[in-house]
Every structure is written in C-alpha cells, then in structure tokens.
Homo-oligomer: A and B are copies of this chain.
Amino acid sequence: MTTKHNHISISYCTQCRWLLRASWMAQELLTTFDDEITSLTLIPATGGLFEVRANDELLWSRKEQGRFPEITELKQLVRDIIAPDRSLGHSDKKPSSDNQS
C-alpha cells in the first residue's frame, strides 16, 4: 500500500442512466490501481454530466470533450496523476483509431 492518499470521483447523470457506465469505469480503475487508489466516489448528478476527477483535478468532462473517454485513455489520465512512473502494460500507448482496450 502507498502512503499517499489518492481519491477518484465519477459524477454521472442519473437521467441519462449512466450508473452502469460509471460503475464499470470505477471497477476498471479500482482493479488497475488497486494499490494506489485510496477511495473512489460515485456521485449521482443530472443534466448530462459525466466527470472524472483524481485528487480533485478534473480529468474528464463529457461536456468539454464531447464524448466519453476510452477506458485506456482514462486510465492513462488517472495514472499521470496518481502513479506517474507506472506503466500500464500493453494498453499503455497513445490512443489509436482502433479503440483497443
């Protein structure tokens, strides 16, 4: 276990029924960063909101980016904040057009 506290949050629009998507991404992050994440909070919201934060830094906003993140790019963004020296293995590359995860 690391001594640094890392907190992730995922805000999702309940009207859009994005709970399943949010909790899937939560499980992906908690599985990949099982040694780094101290806690991960799911936050019901409204109005088409889908935002991911790491240590209060906004990593993804669906309204700003105009789409959901690929799970690989979300992991890279989270990694850059909470475990910058860590490799994510075979998926750790620049996002490509084939959407491999």
**B-binding residues in A (CB < 8 A):** 1, 9, 14, 19-20, 23, 26-27, 30-31, 34, 37-44, 46
Contact = CB atoms under 8 A, between A and B. Distances in A.
Contacts of A43: 38-39
**Number of copies of this chain that the complex holds:** 2
A53 to B, nearest CB: 12
A20 B73 CA distance: 23
Contacts of A1: 46
Those 5 A-B pairs whose CB atoms lie nearest each other, nearest first: A41-B41, A39-B43, A40-B42, A39-B41, A23-B27
Contact of A34 (B23, B38, B41, B44): B44
Given A19-B30, A40-B42, 18 more contacts: A14-B34, A19-B27, A19-B31, A20-B27, A23-B26, A26-B26, A26-B42, A30-B42, A30-B44, A37-B44, A38-B43, A38-B44, A39-B41, A39-B42, A39-B44, A40-B41, A41-B41, A42-B42
